[in-house]
């Protein structure tokens, strides 16, 4: 992972040597001021973002797969990303054309507005689903989450239908996902949110193990099922919502990383799976971003496409080796 991180720091539209990178970070006077700025203000936050986002999505995916006992669950099953995309769609497609030209060139303040909009959107669906989570059983909750996603997705489609082409373009490029929009000031919110989410997860390792048996059994071995479910969903949605808010909807990592962790460590115990997913998720995420930025290219490919292109073959390969899905999931 360190290797990939270093590669990620070195490669970019301006290839730099590892030596330069370290000099830039340590503030050595030998390094050009511009290079130093590229490294510290662009490449480092980007690496940190991709690591944190990967870890967050992988952990959130793991929790969702466990709580819904479904190998296809991902961090967004409860509609967090559709909520976020609705917020963003409102800002880009409605507010901006209505005269608020903040998002004109996707400049810094525009970025902030998008982050705020998507975070509010994600938080809104989160509150909606969590308020239901204590009242209905877990399978109904899964269906409710899906339905909310569809409904919000439909509203986004309607917004898109009435929008101007160039607005549509910037909305679509948001939906590609990008780690490059986080400045150090954003990081001050982004990193703590993710750390809080991950800490909650670590507190619920034992209930997560118990929930593998289903809620009845979990309750019977002393798990406070409803409370555990609430906090697990809260932390999973916080993680997924934060990432979506800051980086756009990043698919696939959340579903792939937990499966790979189970495959690598051959276990279902969350004491191992949580750290493993964090590690695998961060590594996958960093590699995907490295590929997306295409060493030596001036543009970057849609991150979402890359995560799926890298992830899908890995999962298929693991499955074929493992013979059947049943054994990979646990």
Residues that bind another protein (CB under 8 A): 69, 203, 205-206, 209-210, 212-214, 216-217, 219-225, 262, 266-269, 271, 326-330
Cβ count near 329 (within 10 Å): 18
What would the two tokens of residue 267 be? 């276990």
Q: Which is nearer to another protein, 146 or 213 (CB)?
A: 213
The alpha-helical segments, DSSP class H, found in 11-77 are 18-26, 33-37, 44-67
**Rg of the chain in Å (alpha carbons):** 20
> Closest separation between CB of residue 52 and another protein, Å?
24
Cβ count near 210 (within 10 Å): 23
> For residues 157 and 213, what is the distance between their CA atoms, to the nearest angstrom?
39
Q: Which is nearer to another protein, 134 or 224 (CB)?
A: 224
DSSP string, 190-205: HHHHHHHHHHHHHHTH
Q: Which residues of 294-327 are buried (b: 16+ CB within 10 A; e: fewer)?
A: eeeeeebebbbbbbbebbeebbeebeeebeeeee
Q: Which is nearer to another protein, 102 or 198 (CB)?
A: 198
> Closest separation between CB of residue 135 and another protein, Å?
12
Q: Which is nearer to another protein, 96 or 210 (CB)?
A: 210
Q: Which is nearer to another protein, 87 or 207 (CB)?
A: 207
> Closest separation between CB of residue 240 and another protein, Å?
23
Residue with tokens 């989570």: 133
Q: How far is CA 253 from CA 145, 157, 211, in A?
A: 19, 25, 23
> Closest separation between CB of residue 307 and another protein, Å?
24
Q: Which is nearer to another protein, 115 or 210 (CB)?
A: 210
> Closest separation between CB of residue 268 and another protein, Å?
4
Q: Which is nearer to another protein, 214 or 295 (CB)?
A: 214
Q: Which is nearer to another protein, 140 or 266 (CB)?
A: 266
Helix (H) or strand (E) holding 219: helix 215-220
Burial class (CB within 10 angstroms; exposed 0-12, middle 13-18, buried 19+) of 243: buried
Burial class (CB within 10 angstroms; exposed 0-12, middle 13-18, buried 19+) of 165: exposed
> Closest separation between CB of residue 65 and another protein, Å?
11
> For residues 260 and 66, what is the distance between their CA atoms, to the nearest angstrom?
15
Q: Which residues of 65-86 are buried (b: 16+ CB within 10 A; e: fewer)?
A: bbbbbeeebbbbbbbbbbbbbb
Q: Which is nearer to another protein, 309 or 318 (CB)?
A: 318
């Amino acid at each position: 992972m360190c290797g990939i991180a270093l590669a990620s720091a070195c490669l970019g539209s301006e290839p730099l040597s590892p030596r330069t990178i370290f000099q830039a970070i340590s503030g050595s006077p030998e390094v050009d001021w511009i290079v130093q700025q590229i490294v510290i203000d662009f490449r480092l936050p980007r690496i940190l973002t991709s690591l944190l986002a990967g870890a967050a999505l992988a952990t959130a995916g793991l929790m969702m797969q466990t709580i819904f006992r479904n190998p296809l669950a991902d961090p967004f099953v409860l509609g967090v990303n559709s909520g976020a995309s609705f917020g963003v769609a409102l800002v880009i497609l409605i507010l901006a054309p209505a005269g608020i030209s903040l998002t004109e060139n996707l400049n810094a303040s525009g970025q902030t507005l998008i982050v705020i909009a998507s975070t509010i959107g994600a938080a809104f669906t989160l509150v909606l689903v969590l308020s239901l989570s204590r009242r209905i059983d877990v399978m109904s909750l899964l269906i409710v989450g899906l339905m909310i996603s569809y409904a919000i997705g439909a509203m986004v489609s309607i917004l898109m239908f009435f929008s101007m082409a160039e607005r549509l373009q910037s909305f679509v490029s948001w939906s590609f996902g990008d780690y490059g929009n986080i400045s150090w000031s954003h990081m001050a919110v982004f990193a703590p949110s993710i750390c809080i989410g991950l800490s909650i997860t670590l507190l619920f390792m034992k209930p997560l193990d118990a929930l593998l048996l289903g809620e009845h059994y979990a309750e019977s071995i002393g798990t406070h099922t409803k409370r555990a479910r609430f906090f697990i969903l809260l932390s999973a949605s916080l993680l997924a919502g934060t990432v979506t808010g800051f980086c756009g909807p990043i698919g696939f990592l959340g579903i792939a990383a937990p499966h790979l962790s189970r495959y690598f460590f051959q276990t279902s115990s969350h004491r191992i799976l949580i750290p493993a997913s964090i590690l695998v998720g961060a590594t996958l995420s960093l590699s995907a971003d490295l590929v997306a930025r295409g060493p030596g290219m001036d543009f970057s490919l849609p991150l979402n496409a890359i995560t799926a292109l890298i992830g899908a073959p890995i999962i298929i390969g693991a499955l074929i080796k493992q013979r059947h899905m049943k054994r990979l999931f646990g």
